[in-house]
Amino acid sequence: MKTVPQNGGTVPLRNSKNPVVGVFRHHCGNIASVHNYQGPKKKHLFYLHCDKCGCDQGAGKPYQAEIKAGMYDTIEQLEAAESDVISNQVTPEVENTPETAADADYSEVVESETVDINTQVDSQDLTIKKPPHTAPDAVLTVETTAKDNKPRNVAIAAIFGAIFGGLFALAR
C-alpha cells in the first residue's frame, strides 16, 4: 500500500476527489481510508476505501458509529492503539492438559448413573415408551406435524416421477 504524509503520520494514497479524513481497520483486516461524502444529502456520512475489498459505502447508523469510534488520523495512530489493546489484554491461564489418554489422571472421575436406552416405538402415536421396569416419569414423547412428513413426501413423489418418466421414455 502506498502512503502519503498527513497530520504528522501517513495515510493511504488515494485518487479520490474526496480527501482522506482518517484510517480504519476494515473487517477484512486491511487498513482502509475513510472519506466524507460531498453534497447535501450524504455530507454527514463516511465511506471506506480498502485495497482488498474496494469501496465500502455502508450507511447504516451502527456501522457509521463503528467507523467514527474506530477511526484514527494516521496509520501510525491506528497501529499504536491496536498494540495498546493487545498489550493490555490479560492472557487466560491454560490448564495443563494431557496430550494423550495415557497421560490423563482419572483419579477425580466420578462415576455417573447410566440409563438403559432400549426403547419401543409405538407407530400409532409416535410416543417413545420405556420398558416397564423404568421409572414412569422417564417417558419421552415425539410430536410430529404434517411439515415433518413433507421431505419424505417430496422424495416419494420424485421417485415415482423418475419411474414414470423412464417408462414414458422407453415407450417412445
pLDDT by residue (tens digit) across 150-167? 677 788 888 888 898 888
User: 74 near 33, Cβ under 8 Å?
Assistant: no
State the residue for C-alpha cell 404434517. 146
Q: Residue 38 — very low, low, confident or very high, per pLDDT cuts 50/70/90?
A: confident
Residue 144 corresponds to which amino acid?
A: T
**4-13, 43-52, 132-141, 151-160: range with highest mean pLDDT:** 43-52
Mean pLDDT across the stretch 93-98? 60
Q: Is 111 helix (H, G, I), strand (E, B) or coil?
A: coil
Indicate whether this model's pTM tops 0.75.
Answer: no
- One-letter identity of residue 3: T
Chain centroid offset of residue 159 CA: 36
Closest of 118, 151, 122 to residue 134, by C-alpha: 118
Q: How far apart are CA 60 and CA 45, in angstroms?
A: 9
